[in-house]
Structure 1
Amino acid sequence: MTFVARRLPSHRGPAAWAEILGPGARYPRLEGDLTADVVVIGAGFAGLSAARRVLQLRPDARVVVLEAGRIAEGAAGRNSGFMIDLPHDLASEDYAGAGDDRTLTRLNRAAIAFGQEAVAEYGLPRDVFDPAGKVNGAATAQGDAHNRSYAKHLASLSEPSEWLDAQGMHALTGSRHYRSGLYTPGTVMLQPAGYIRGLAAGLQQRAQVFETSPVLSFARAGPSWTLKTPKGRVVADQVITAVNGHLESFGIASGRLLQLFLFASMTAPLDADARVRLGGAARWGVTPSDPMGTTMRRIDAGQGGHRIITRTAAVVRPSLVPKAHDMRRAARLHVQKFTERFPTLSGVKQQYTWGGHLCLSLNGVAHTREVDHNLFSACVQNGLGTARGTLTGIAAAERACGHTSDITRYFDAEDDLKRLPPQPFATWGANAFLRWKEWRAGAE
């Protein structure tokens, strides 16, 4: 069995979370031949979690991690850094899912605990993994109703939440845009690039980590797999693919993956005068009450300067590369959404704008299974890459090590990925639906 990459990861816009931290550690490019027990393709949340879990279960295993680009500059370093413990169904009206929410919450908290243990083990700074909770912000009557519905759903699960009125939202964010908010305490606010850099640095003590080493192909001959990169080759007993939507690039799950891009912008550092005009707390995160609304986040100096991040605008691109006009449209929309929320900061420039790659399946399930003999996948995070990526990485590692847990049992019980409608109708329909949902979200 041979899998050949039809395309390699490509990104538009800078990896802002890495940019504001400054240069990170350099990892070598794979050159020459290696042997390994386990090779992990991809150094994001799933891949690094998989490598760490393999080493927990098999401390003497020879583990190699291959990253196509620079560590923390791919999709993992381009999200907005919310590691959410509660049900968070992006396809729903108010995040409440239709499945077993208690089970999913328990698993998400296992992912958070896994991250907290890594932070302690590798000595990462606290501000890259901040258990600060988050707020669902509502700007309209409809959004307020969504929040109240979500609060009732959480109460039915015996999960705590705190209602914030308009004054409470103003005191937190400095914005009078919101009429209410629903605070939940279990979310971790990540500096995603800092977290990924820290995991890679910690793992390098026991594993071999390579960057700028995209896997061009991998093939099985007998019991072993051979992986080829532009300058090197690895022969391994087992392979874990942790490449999210790029699974399709290798011909796996073709016609079953929605390749989605979400866009974000980050301001230049807020000077002392701007911070006085804004007021509010130094660090907070606000997700929209309508899943297709606008996410806002404020970070403080410890994470690269006092800045505000705006995330909204989505587009489906089967090519796995957003178009230039997607970026231009998103940048305009970010300025509009930022100014609506913070009119006193209307002169503040957006220093960075970027696109982040997400992958969804039509029925919201992951692709976490044994694809071929000793070839395991930890892919298709359905827009929840921080927590779900960690879980799929753990599951793939446990399968490779012959270990069974609640995590592996959860993914074993998932249905197969549903097939998408034929192209180009799948993309046309998805983008029309996204634009309608975006329009309907309005001020949210």
Structure 2
Amino acid sequence: MYVATKFPKNSSRSAWVEMLPPRKPGLSLNGAVIADVAIIGAGFAGLSAARRLSQLDPTLRVAVLEAGVVGEGATGRNSGFIIDLPHEVSSEDFGDTSTERARRDITLYRTAISLATDMAKEYGWGREIIDPCGRFSVAISQKGDSHIVNYARQLQGLGESHQLLDAKGIYDVTGSRIYTSGLYMPGTVMVQPAAYIRAVADSLRSPVTLYENSPVQSFEKQSGNWLLKTANGSVTAKRVILANNGHAQSFGLFRGKMLHVFTYASMTESFDPNRLSGKRDWAATPALPMGTTVRRVSGVDGDRILIRSRYSYHAGLEINEGHVRSAGRVHDSKFADRFPDLAGVKMQYRWGGPMALTWNSVPIFGEIEQGLFAACACNGLGASKSTAAGIAAAEAALGVKSQLVEIFSNYDSPKNLPPQPFLSIGAKADLKLREWRAGRE
């Protein structure tokens, strides 16, 4: 029997959730249910798995169990980048191995994008939910400029569309004079993550059923099936997909395999769009790893700027308001540096969100026991990687042989992490070192 020792706990609410109308309470599990497949978690991975299962077999009875309210967990704390290209094609060289790895990653990411864009077309979602606007990589230093030029060269080698921008070119986009160069990549799709995942959830049709506010307390194998228990009900299913990322460890699974890191974001109050030149909707990732992600979001009441930076390690899968406030002070400084024309504009929302990493940056995927499948350890880029993992887990659960399943199945096994307290000491030191290397970026 796998018994949960803790459940997801959020210390703050993200801007994405706060800017939406309150969600109408969904169905909670009450009583005994029989399903063909049970999915634990209704984020990017879980709902993508449900979507794919219904595509493969519309008669499948699927029960999706979400501990809280859809959109209020880790997915709704994402920055909304469903990227199509890896941040790094190669860290050192551009040999055959790195090219093959890059093409593998691109296949994963574009499969995720296809699921999102196909749903947008099917259900008529607008740009307030999903926007195929592409993304920019931006630099504010000579080191960042060099990285962008090298990365553009690698993209050219892959035959991928991109556009290099000088300081004036990126200023015309962002309205910020701090940026010294930029690189535009048109394939990224941006989402309002809370609105997107709500829309995916609300698109599910019988015999797929979503149960919100229904945390799984335990699950065990009984007579060839899996029995999942919640406070007020149970699900009996032949197959189970674990789509709860780091919280799979709360059931005692994957001990010593996952590193729990939180990243933080702040979003401004609305401001008059005329105060800042440039485009009204754009999204930029930093040229250097661990730098600052920035996104401008337009709205009927004005525009907002999102700043995301800072990372912290928390073995207990929880942060508090103090961690959020500490990161917020860094965000305020980053915002002031980049947008002096917006002096006086305050941050209205601040939040943090979890990532589950492995030592060797591989997912935890596949059939770990008969009928028990994992789609965990996103290693960052959750919107892209978790979506792809959910699709692949659904295919694997039904015995479908696909390119996506093959890619996930061919990853190395996750390496064991060092024991405590060495893990905590090393993880915290490594994060600080990486942030220091990113500098002003």
Distance (whole Å) between structure 1 residues aligned to residue 61 and residue 433 of structure 2: 49
Contact 2:94–2:154 (Cα < 8 Å) also in 1: no
Q: How far does residue 305 in structure 1 lie from its aligned partner after superposition?
A: 4.9
Task: After TM superposition, list the pairs within 5 Å mapping 1:5-404 onto structure 2.
Answer: 5-89=4-88, 98=98, 100-270=101-271, 272=272, 275-301=273-299, 305-404=302-401
Q: How far does residue 89 in structure 1 lie from its aligned partner after superposition?
A: 4.8
Q: How far does residue 361 in structure 1 lie from its aligned partner after superposition?
A: 0.7
Contact 2:257–2:414 (Cα < 8 Å) also in 1: yes
Distance (whole Å) between structure 1 residues aligned to residue 92 and residue 323 of structure 2: 25
Distance (whole Å) between structure 2 residues aligned to residue 45 and residue 189 of structure 1: 14
Q: Which amino acid aligns with 1:170?
A: Y
Distance (whole Å) between structure 2 residues aligned to residue 437 and residue 425 of structure 1: 18
Please give the per-residue CA displacement for 1:199-240, whole angstroms capped at 9, x wherever unaligned. 000014541111111111111112111111112111111111
Give the structure-1-normalised TM-score. Answer: 0.95
| Segment drifting more, 98-107 vs 51-60 | 98-107
Distance (whole Å) between structure 2 residues aligned to residue 123 and residue 95 of structure 1: 41
Contact 2:50–2:62 (Cα < 8 Å) also in 1: yes
What secondary structure is seen at the aligned counterpart in 2 of 1:160? coil
Distance (whole Å) between structure 1 residues aligned to residue 227 and residue 8 of structure 2: 21
Please give the per-residue CA displacement for 1:349-400, whole angstroms capped at 9, x wherever unaligned. 1111000111111111101110111111111111011111111101110111
Contact 2:89–2:154 (Cα < 8 Å) also in 1: no
Relative distance call for 1:42 and 1:421 in structure 2 (3 A) is same
**Alpha-carbon RMSD:** 1.9
Q: Which amino acid aligns with 1:438?
A: E
Q: How far does residue 428 in structure 1 lie from its aligned partner after superposition?
A: 1.3
User: Equivalent residue for 2:410?
Assistant: 413
Percent of aligned pairs with the same residue?
47
Q: How far does residue 121 in structure 1 lie from its aligned partner after superposition?
A: 2.4
Contact 2:226–2:239 (Cα < 8 Å) also in 1: yes
Distance (whole Å) between structure 2 residues aligned to residue 140 and residue 390 of structure 1: 33
Please give the per-residue CA displacement for 1:321-366, whole angstroms capped at 9, x wherever unaligned. 1244321210100100001000121211111100011111111110
What secondary structure is seen at the aligned counterpart in 2 of 1:10? coil
Q: How far does residue 295 in structure 1 lie from its aligned partner after superposition?
A: 0.2
Gaps of 5+ in 2: none
| Segment drifting more, 341-350 vs 323-332 | 323-332
Contact 1:95–1:291 (Cα < 8 Å) also in 2: no
Matched positions, count:
439
Distance (whole Å) between structure 2 residues aligned to residue 400 and residue 235 of structure 1: 16
Contact 2:88–2:151 (Cα < 8 Å) also in 1: no
Give the structure-2-normalised TM-score. Answer: 0.96
Distance (whole Å) between structure 1 residues aligned to residue 290 and residue 178 of structure 2: 17
Distance (whole Å) between structure 2 residues aligned to residue 73 and residue 94 of structure 1: 40
Contact 1:90–1:291 (Cα < 8 Å) also in 2: no
What secondary structure is seen at the aligned counterpart in 2 of 1:340? helix
Please give the per-residue CA displacement for 1:83-112, whole angstroms capped at 9, x wherever unaligned. 110123599589999452112212311211
What secondary structure is seen at the aligned counterpart in 2 of 1:360? strand
